Amino acid sequence: MATIVSVHSFRGGTGKSNSTANLASLCAQQGYRVAIVDTDIQSPGVHVLFGIDEAQAPRCLNDFLWGTCRIDEAAVDVTPVLEGGVEPVAGRLFVVPSSIKSDEIGRVLRDGYDVGRLNDGFRALIKSLALDLLFIDTHPGVNEETLLSLAISDLLVLIMRPDAQDYQGTAVTLELARRLEVPEILLTVNKVPPSLDAVKLRVDVARTFGVEVAGVLPLNLEMVEVASGGVFVTRYPEHPFTRELRVIAGRITVAAAPAARRA
């Protein structure tokens, strides 16, 4: 049984897709079989980080939701992208992208889809790719994909910035996550400016929400420079940002370990 990890933020621009891609990559580097499903149907983006283009991904999540392909047919093996880095990759990483074509985005928004089918897809993907970890990258805010991903997640990674709007939104998401009985929730504070005391911030946030803070990530200029042109942790394996992400990834694999320990 794989561990399902939802990565969510109430508002956009928190670095959610970047964090998902990097955390999943770190887990794959550690030897886990990992996949990311981009359920951000309205504004997909995680494929960019792995340089997936249309030629590589003739099928996508939309095709599966419309019943025109199996979900594993939409999965792209991006392990070679990680192998460009310093560390050898012991595991595997797959990405199921969402369509970037405007008419296909429009169609799924107009016609909707059977949310149960999305769940069937997650289960089928776990089985056919023998996954240890499934990361679900969600659209910011609250919608059906988000709620479904919360309902099936073993672990929620909630990302926020030290910003009043994010504080409010995070409280909303936490309430929903608790009502959907997500077993484990990890908060991550991202884009923390150097002027803030990271230790104090960690304590404050944990106290405010009553949730474990897995990491406090500094505002990262190099990340901005990478500009989603690649996976940060493979380019900067010794960067403080990567080290902090590695702690969070470690925390995720601890949560996954009982179920996902492989022979």
Partner 1 sequence: MSTPKSGNALDALLGRMKAAASPLREALLEIHGQYAPVMDGVVASYIPELALADPNWFGLSVVTVDGQSVDVGDHQQTFTIQSVSKPLIFGLALEDQGREAVLAKVGVEPTGEAFNSIELDEVSNRPYNPMVNAGAIATADLVAGKDLPDRVKRMLAMFGRYVGHPVHVDNGVYMSERSTGHRNRAIGHLMLNFGMISDRVDDTLDLYFQQCSVLVTAHDLAMVGATLANGGVNPVTGERALRQEFVRDLLSVMYTCGMYDSAGQWVYEVGLPAKSGVGGGIVAVVPGKLGIGLFSPPLDSKGNSVRGVGACVELARRFGLHLFESGFTGPDIVGELNPRRARGSG
Q: Name the residues that contact partner 1, by CB under 8 A.
A: 1, 115-116, 118-120, 123, 144, 147-148, 150-152, 154, 176, 179-181, 183, 258-259
Nearer CB in complex with partner 1: 81/260: 260
Shortest separation between residue 148's beta carbon and partner 1, angstroms:
5
Contact in structure between 139 and 40 (CB atoms under 8 Å): yes
If the CB atoms of residues 90 and 109 are measured against partner 1, the closer one turns out to be 109
Structure tokens at 261: 């320990």
DSSP 89-147: --SEEEEEPPP--HHHHHHHHHH---HHHHHHHHHHHHHHTT-SEEEEE--SS--HHHH
Q: Least CB distance from residue 178 to partner 1, whole Å?
A: 11
By three-state DSSP, how is residue 191 classified? strand
Minimum gap (Å) between residue 10 Cβ and partner 1? 16
Of residues 25 and 153, the one with the C-beta less far from partner 1: 153
* Alpha carbons 148 and 51: distance in angstroms, whole number: 28
CA–chain centroid gap for 34, Å, is: 11
Are 188 and 218 in contact by the 8 Å Cβ rule? The answer is: no
- Residue type, position 80, single letter: P
Closest listed residue to residue 125, CA positions, set 61, 41, 185: 61
Among 92, 89, 86, CA closest to 33: 92
Compute the least distance from the CB of residue 149 to partner 1, in Å: 9
Shortest gap between Cβ of 204 and partner 1 (angstroms)? 29
Q: Which is nearer to partner 1, 147 or 196 (CB)?
A: 147
Output the smallest distance, CB 115 to partner 1, in A. Answer: 5
- Between residues 142 and 201, which has the closer beta carbon with respect to partner 1? 142
- Considering the complex, state which of residue 80 and residue 112 has its C-beta at the smaller distance from partner 1: 112
CB atoms within 10 A of CB 176: 17
Please list the alpha-helical segments (H only) found in the chain: 16-29, 46-49, 61-65, 79-83, 102-111, 115-128, 144-152, 164-179, 198-209, 221-226, 232-235, 240-260
Q: In angstroms, give the least distance from the CB of 161 to partner 1.
A: 26
Q: Which C-beta is closer to partner 1: that of 57 or that of 125?
A: 125
